[in-house]
Amino acid sequence: MERSPEEVNPSEAAGLINPNPRTDPIRDPSRITSSSASSLSPPEWPTIDGPLGLSEQDALGYARKFFGFGFVLLPLLWAVNCYYFWPVLRHSRSFPRIRPYVVGSAIGFTVFSAVLASWALTFTIGGERLFGHTWDELVMYNVADRYGLTGWI
């Protein structure tokens, strides 16, 4: 026998709407779905392209090369290293042999970006006010005039 909505008392109505209001995947591990479990578990592959990517041994070689070449004035390779090995950077306990190179690349790129941004802002904001009469020797837009390279055109 079915009851009309008027016959249902408020405590039964709360149970019909949401029978277990405290159940969520964080507090109740039995309710973890496969999609949320994949974000909690360590990655199987060290690169962002998954099974199409490199084996762990090849990945170690590439991570080491990207990290090393970042010191030879190619710091954008540090950013590439962080992007390509994002699963290693994201999960702290995965691939312990590769992780020092990827974390080092992240730190190196962060320091490089901060130095580059401060250098650019110093020259952009400060300019002639900050450097005074040495500003003419620092800027590059008058090099052709300084060495007489504009007369031959």
Q: Which residue has the higher pLDDT, 69 or 149?
A: 69
pTM to 2 decimal places: 0.61
Structure tokens at 79: 């950013």
Mean pLDDT of the chain: 77
- Average pLDDT value for residue range 32-49: 64
Residue 36's pLDDT is 47
List Cβ<8 Å contacts ≥24 apart for 83-89: 83/48, 84/47, 84/48, 85/46, 85/47, 85/48, 85/59, 86/48, 87/43, 87/45, 87/46, 87/47, 87/48, 88/43, 88/46, 88/63
Mean of pLDDT values over 74-86: 92
